[in-house]
């Protein structure tokens, strides 16, 4: 062997110091200002990552207080008034400051430009502005929760919220109102980015399905959020000035508020679930080494969910005195949403069929998502059915249903995404063993927390009550136990993820041997994502052909 070839061999290893390596986005600056004044979509994604999980912790602690209180039939630790404030805090924080900004804020900001092959979002300044607006909204809400608490439930129904409640509803509602603008900004930015910033060859038919899901999500954010903003604004005006817009004693109609509120807040559950579904597409294909089954069906079902999702809101008011025929129609339309959701579920199952499945942590989360979301989705049909809803309305059955969808769906989907993309975001791998262990623990914990609540609801335990008959105690204790199982799982996730930042081993460009365009750049990516503008030659899931979207070999097993 000649000297030259030995030197060549030395030059080949991936971490060669001699090779001119561009700085990653993490190395562009180290001061706090380089983060706070950044316009880089990746850094904004990381800002969201830190703050969103901060709020998850706050909302999670509130959930813990609720569960602890329900250990005893007469309420274990909180008086009734505080209990109201705690579950409202849980709802407001988890929905407006965790679920809605979670995947769009973290993975949407970080990966939408990369996955369409762009250097940045279309409007980078608007992007960082959205984070600040969100933080201002959050500050208002936290202020409201601290100085007196809000006891209306997250739905803020008048006339209680405008007339009777003595709690600090105003700052909380203002916080919701302001953070809504952040949601609109993010949605707008993502839509324009997908339309205008795609790399050469990145046609709509070659977009990763995560991008399709984010597109549908952004449409809802853009078109739904202004409606709830106006509804909450009218509610704020009524409370602040004594005008009677929703007050029945002054001619107003409180059910109108419910219409306007749910016109947004039902589609908002799709803001929360669609991005999770988007992540699942990426993970399932990668760890079963197969192309997605029915790309077009999955892509359009996202849009279908967004569109039909706007037509079902009144299923929240079946017992609020809406007309019988309206209820009938909305019942039918609500069941219709199950169709595009089921299309996704069947296509994922077909994708798994005869795949070379491996069970890395993201895949365990993705499979958990499929199971938990299916339970949540099917129990939704019970609630969409008029007759059963009369019985189940405002019981723990509803609580269990939407937690299976939101927590079992979106939180698990988010964790799948975080675990899948962590090596790309920070260039390091986390502990394989502990991540698999935590994934199983969290999924089992969820099932244990919320499955007993179906039973409780079916037997008539109302939601938002601080106490219950003693016969129901065993199920409540099981539910609380489940909460702690999850809690342990989350502490594990936080621990090994943080440890991986300190001493995780380098991930390299493509640790999962995936074929999407985002794996064709450095981990962590450079400031402008790609060394030069990528050219896309095929769809995102060409595992059978062993090529990446950029045409390189993917080393698929």
* Residues of this chain that bind another protein (CB under 8 A): 118-124, 184, 188-189, 191-192, 195-197, 222-227, 229-231, 233-234, 237-238, 241-245, 249-253, 256, 260, 263, 528, 533
Please say which residue, 224 or 466, places its beta carbon nearer to another protein: 224
Of 190 and 392, CB closest to another protein: 190
- Partner whose footprint covers residue 339, from another protein, Cu ion, none (CB < 5 to 8 Å by kind): none
Contact of residue 266 among Cu ion, another protein, none (CB under 5-8 Å per partner type): Cu ion
d(CA 375, CA 371): 6
Find the binding residues for Cu ion in span 388-427 (CB under 5 A): none
| Cβ 395 to another protein shortest distance, Å | 30
Q: Which of another protein, Cu ion, none binds 528 (CB below 5-8 Å, type-dependent)?
A: another protein
Residue 476, class by beta-carbon neighbours within 10 Å (0-12 exposed, 13-18 middle, 19+ buried)?
buried
Q: Which is closer to Cu ion, CB of 181 or CB of 270?
A: 270
Kindly tell me which of 382 and 422 has the beta carbon lying closer to Cu ion: 382
Joined together, the tokens standing for residue 6 give 């030995």
**Minimum CB–partner distance for residue 342 and another protein (Å):** 29
Minimum CB distance to Cu ion smaller for 258 or for 347: 258
Output 100 or 112, the one with its CB closest to Cu ion. 100
From the list another protein, Cu ion, none, pick the one residue 184 interacts with, judged by a Cβ distance below 5 to 8 Å according to partner type.
another protein
C-beta of 185: minimal distance to another protein in Å? 9
- Give the nearest residue (CB) to Cu ion: 266
Residues in a beta bridge with 506: 428
Burial class (CB in 10 A: 0-12, 13-18, 19+), 398: buried
Is the bond preceding 430 in cis, omega lying within 30 degrees of 0?
Answer: no
227 binds, among another protein, Cu ion, none (CB under 5 to 8 A by kind): another protein
Write the burial class of residue 201 (CB in 10 Å: 0-12 exposed, 13-18 middle, 19+ buried): middle
Closest distance between another protein and the C-beta of residue 64, in Å?
Answer: 36
Answer yes or no whether residue 266 interacts with Cu ion by CB under 5 A.
yes
Task: Report how far residue 217's alpha carbon sits from residue 269's, in angstroms, rounded to the nearest whole number.
Answer: 10
Contact at 8 Å (CB) between 443 and 412?
yes
Q: Which stretch binds Cu ion (CB under 5 A): 67-75, 263-271, 419-427, 467-475?
A: 263-271
> Does residue 309 have a cis peptide bond before it, meaning omega lies within 30 degrees of 0?
no
Structure tokens at 504: 């995780």
85 binds Cu ion (CB under 5 A): no
- Residue 354 — left, alpha, or beta (φ > 0 → left; ψ -120 to 50 → alpha)? left
Residues 6+ apart with CB under 8 A from 59: 89, 90, 93, 94, 97, 98
Residue 416 site contact among another protein, Cu ion, none (CB < 5 to 8 Å, cut-off depends on kind) = none
Taking the complex as a whole, the smallest distance from the CB of residue 168 to another protein amounts, in Å, to: 20
Nearest to 500 by CA among 359, 298, 361: 361
Tell me the closest approach of the beta carbon of residue 189 to another protein, in angstroms.
8
Q: Which is nearer to another protein, 248 or 544 (CB)?
A: 248
User: What is the Cα–Cα distance from 273 to 348, expressed in whole angstroms?
Assistant: 16
68 binds, among another protein, Cu ion, none (CB under 5 to 8 A by kind): none
Q: Looking at 22-30, 123-131, 262-270, 343-351, which segment touches Cu ion (CB under 5 A)?
A: 262-270
Which of another protein, Cu ion, none lies near 556, with the C-beta cut-off 5 to 8 A by kind? none
- Identity of the residue, 189 or 351, whose beta carbon is nearer to another protein in the bound complex: 189
Sign of CA dihedral 527, 195, 301, 266: positive
Distance of closest approach, residue 380 Cβ to Cu ion, in angstroms: 8
CA–CA separation, 230 vs 397, rounded Å?
Answer: 31
Q: Which residue's CB is nearer to another protein, number 192 or number 545?
A: 192
- Rounded CA-CA distance 111/116 in Å is 8
Considering the complex, state which of residue 256 and residue 307 has its C-beta at the smaller distance from another protein.
256
Judged by CB under 5 A, which stretch of 84-92, 115-123, 174-182, 259-267 contacts Cu ion? 259-267
- Site for Cu ion, residues 267 to 286, rule: CB under 5 A: none
How far apart CA 162 and CA 184 sit, in angstroms, is: 26
Distance of CA 368 to the CA centre of its chain: 15
Give one DSSP letter per residue of 93-137, joined into a string.
HHIIIIIHHHHIIIIIHHHHHHHHT-SS-S-HHHHHHHHHHHHHH
Angle at 62 between CA 146 and CA 84, to 5 degrees: 70
Residue 313 beta carbon to Cu ion: minimum distance, rounded to whole angstroms: 6
List the interface residues with Cu ion, window 454-473 (CB under 5 A): none
Structural tokens at position 390:
């009369």
Q: With contacts defined by CB under 5 A, how many residues of the chain interact with Cu ion?
A: 1
Instruction: Report the interface residues with Cu ion, using CB under 5 A.
Output: 266
């Amino acid at each position: 062997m000649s000297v030259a070839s030995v030197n060549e061999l030395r030059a080949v290893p991936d971490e060669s110091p001699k090779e001119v390596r561009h700085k990653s986005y993490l190395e562009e600056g180290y001061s706090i200002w380089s983060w706070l004044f950044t316009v880089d979509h990746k850094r904004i994604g990381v800002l969201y990552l830190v703050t969103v999980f901060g709020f998850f912790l706050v909302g999670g602690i509130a959930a813990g207080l609720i569960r602890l209180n329900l250990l005893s039939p007469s309420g274990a630790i909180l008086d009734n008034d505080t209990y109201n404030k705690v579950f409202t805090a849980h709802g407001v924080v988890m929905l407006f400051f965790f679920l809605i900004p979670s995947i769009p804020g973290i993975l949407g900001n970080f990966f939408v430009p990369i996955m369409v092959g762009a250097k940045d979002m279309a409007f980078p300044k608007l992007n960082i502005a959205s984070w600040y607006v969100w933080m201002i909204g959050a500050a208002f809400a936290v202020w409201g929760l601290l100085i007196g608490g809000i006891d209306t439930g997250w739905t803020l129904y008048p006339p209680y919220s405008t007339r009777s409640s003595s709690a600090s509803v105003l700052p909380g509602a203002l916080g919701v109102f302001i953070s809504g603008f952040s949601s609109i900004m993010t949605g707008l930015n993502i839509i324009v980015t997908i339309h205008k910033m795609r790399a050469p060859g990145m046609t709509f038919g070659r977009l990763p399905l995560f991008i399709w899901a984010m597109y549908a999500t952004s449409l809802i954010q853009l078109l739904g959020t202004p409606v709830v903003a106006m509804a909450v604004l009218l509610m704020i005006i009524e409370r602040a000035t004594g005008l009677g817009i929703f007050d029945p004693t002054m001619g107003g109609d409180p059910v109108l508020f419910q219409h306007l509120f749910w016109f947004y807040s039902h589609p908002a559950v799709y803001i929360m679930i669609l991005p999770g579904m988007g992540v699942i597409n990426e993970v399932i294909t990668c760890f079963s080494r197969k192309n997605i089954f029915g790309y077009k069906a999955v892509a359009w079902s996202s849009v279908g969910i967004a569109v039909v999702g706007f037509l079902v809101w009144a299923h929240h008011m079946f017992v609020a005195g809406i007309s019988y025929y309206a209820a009938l129609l909305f019942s039918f339309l609500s069941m219709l949403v199950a169709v595009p959701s089921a299309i996704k579920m069947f296509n994922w199952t077909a994708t798994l069929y005869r795949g070379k499945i491996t069970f890395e942590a993201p895949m365990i989360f993705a499979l958990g998502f499929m199971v938990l979301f299916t339970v949540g989705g099917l129990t939704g049909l019970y609630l969409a059915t008029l007759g059963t809803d009369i019985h189940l309305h405002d019981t723990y059955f509803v609580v269990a249903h939407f937690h299976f969808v939101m927590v079992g769906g979106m939180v698990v989907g988010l964790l799948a995404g975080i675990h899948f993309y962590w090596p790309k975001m920070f260039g390091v791998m986390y502990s394989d063993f502990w991540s698999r262990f935590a994934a199983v623990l969290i999924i089992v914990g969820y099932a244990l927390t919320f499955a007993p609540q179906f039973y409780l609801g079916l037997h008539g335990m109302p939601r938002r009550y601080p106490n219950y008959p003693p016969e129901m105690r065993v199920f409540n204790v099981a539910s609380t136990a489940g909460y702690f199982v999850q809690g342990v799982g989350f502490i594990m996730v936080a621990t090994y993820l943080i440890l991986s930042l300190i001493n995780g081993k380098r991930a390299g460009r493509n640790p999962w041997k995936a074929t999407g365009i985002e794996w064709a750049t450095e981990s962590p990516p450079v400031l402008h994502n790609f060394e030069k503008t990528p050219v896309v030659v095929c769809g995102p899931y060409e595992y059978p052909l062993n090529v990446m979207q950029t045409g390189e070999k993917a080393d698929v097993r």
